Amino acid sequence: MPITDLLERNSKLYGNEISLVEINPEIQEEPRVTWREYELIQPTSSTPYRREITWSVFDEKANRVANMLLSRGIRKGQKVAILLMNCLEWLPIYFGILKTGAVAVPLNFRYTAEEIEYCLRLADADVLFFGPEFIGRVEDIVPSIGKDRLLFFVGSVCPSFAESYIDAVANCSSTAPKILIEDTDDAAIYYSSGTTGFPKAILLDHTALLQSARMEAIHHETTHEDVFLCIPPLYHTGAKMHWFGSLYTGSRAVLLKGNRPKAILDTISWERCTIVWLLVPWCQDLLTALDRGDLSLEGRNMAQLRLMHIGAQPVPPSLIRHWLEYFPNHKYDTNYGLSESTGPGCVHLGVDNIHKVGAIGKPGYGWECKIVDENDTVVKQGEVGELCVKGPGVMKCYYHDPKATAEAIRDGWLHTGDMARMDEDGFIFLVDRKKDVIISGGENLYPVQIEDFLAANPKIHDVAVIGLPDPRLGEIAAAIIQIKEGMTATEEEINEYCLGLPRYKRPRRIIFAPVPRNPTGKIEKPKLRQQYCGVRLVEAQNMG
């Protein structure tokens, strides 16, 4: 069945129950409200901006969006883009698009005007919904795209070059349009991270989205009573497909704007959240705040929080051990995936396998995995090769890019580009990105292994290891290290700490500097390579 059927089912079964809550701790004043259906808890000196909608209102809003688009001539298979920060409008717009049979195209909120235009053209998008944060960027490209596309502004003061989304849907029917949607119909286009140039457009169908929803609920034992805290941006498959577990079970989800440690703990406490998905940097920041005494768990409602899980990048085992010092009764899970596999879960650790922290786990529900060499031959157990996955969540294609599609999908297997190994118990461990492997003096160095070692140092907040050119060895490992706030460290200290590594794995350069990460928590290594490769390194300056 199409993913939209789940929303309609929830509206019938749980119509008066809360589906979504939006929390913005940065706003401490009464919000301007234009939709009469919103139920508000008025902010006080101790409560932030908060909105909520029920499942029935969620479905009605999606229907209004769908009927508005149909009235403007949008038909099955056409593409409709979304450029919004997380908010209550986001998901009703997404599902309204899907209810027309059109294809939803979420866009990264960090895109420049040039990238927005590129992605709209690549996806053949006929419509763009955008929020107030993007007025300037959209206005810059209106001369080249405006005449060919419908532009809907989601906010209170509409710019002259767009239509007001609120006005457009105000008088539209809240009844579901009668559009036949098949499981194999195109549903969404998501974009790759784009850290090595312009991103690729990843086409997914309704089968893939439904598989992701079912799998999320199974993996995390989600029930109707759970409350999921969603912090990452909804344009990304990670946040969206984890939320699909709430959709599948008809349970509540909380959209938190921002990722400050205090806001995270406060929201968990106020909203009685039971499941939270964190990125590595947010987890690090929260633990640092607890270590320093800036935050305390005392007086907060934390007993109901049963599961913390992390994805989007390799997770240092030391980080989870540290987390369990504060939350010893928590279950923990690691989820591995990529947008080409409809987000997280094609490999997952499993909530009962915390003894295997460091692994990404075993094949997820409905998935197969194998690790192969350069000839696509399965390697021996324990050997390093490229991880390949196969299952109902594999993308249909890279839209408008048959060559890249053929390179990525061979005989139904998606080649992830990640290097991995499998232990004697069948658990898969990520070693590194295939393109990130450092070849130094003929030895393969896997940066993730070095990063995990350094991350256990109590003074290190974040770390990235990249290869730098070397006339003798070809490449050498360089560690970019971000020291915890209020602490200091020297190059000599770090080198002494690295004596615990085999000699050939020890970083030859130590650079004290911030570690850049994209919105989904991945280290932006291309940016680091551009910054440091080919430049004569001077003596490292301690920025702690």
Using a 10 angstrom Cβ sphere, with 0-12 exposed, 13-18 middle and 19 or more buried, the burial of residue 251 is buried
pLDDT digits (tens, 9 = 90+) for 361-420: 999 999 999 999 989 999 999 998 999 999 999 999 999 999 999 999 999 999 998 889
CA distance 211 to 114: 34
pTM (2 d.p.): 0.81
Residue 38: the pLDDT is 31
Q: Pick out the chain residues at pLDDT < 50.
A: 29-46, 195-196, 534-544
Residue 282: the pLDDT is 86
DSSP-assigned letters across all residues of 453-470 = HHHTSTTEEEEEEEEEEE
181 contacts 2 by C-beta, under 8 angstroms: yes
User: How many CB atoms sit inside 10 A of residue 286's CB?
Assistant: 21
Which has the closest alpha carbon to 411: 435, 394, 431? 394
User: 46 to each of 252, 298, 377, 508, how far by Cα in Å?
Assistant: 23, 17, 60, 50
**What are the percentages of helix, strand and coil residues in the chain, rounded to 5?**
35, 25, 40
Residue 126: the pLDDT is 96
Residue 44: the pLDDT is 39
330 contacts 323 by C-beta, under 8 angstroms: yes
Domains in the chain, please, with CATH?
4-258 (3.40.50.12780), 306-433 (2.30.38.10), 438-532 (3.30.300.30)
Residue 37: the pLDDT is 33
E strand residue ranges, 226-342: 227-230, 252-256, 275-278, 307-311, 331-338
CA distance 1 to 81: 23
Residue 442: the pLDDT is 58
526 contacts 475 by C-beta, under 8 angstroms: no
Residue 238: the pLDDT is 84
E strand residue ranges, 376-507: 385-390, 397-398, 409-410, 413-422, 428-433, 438-440, 443-445, 460-470, 474-483
Using a 10 angstrom Cβ sphere, with 0-12 exposed, 13-18 middle and 19 or more buried, the burial of residue 411 is exposed
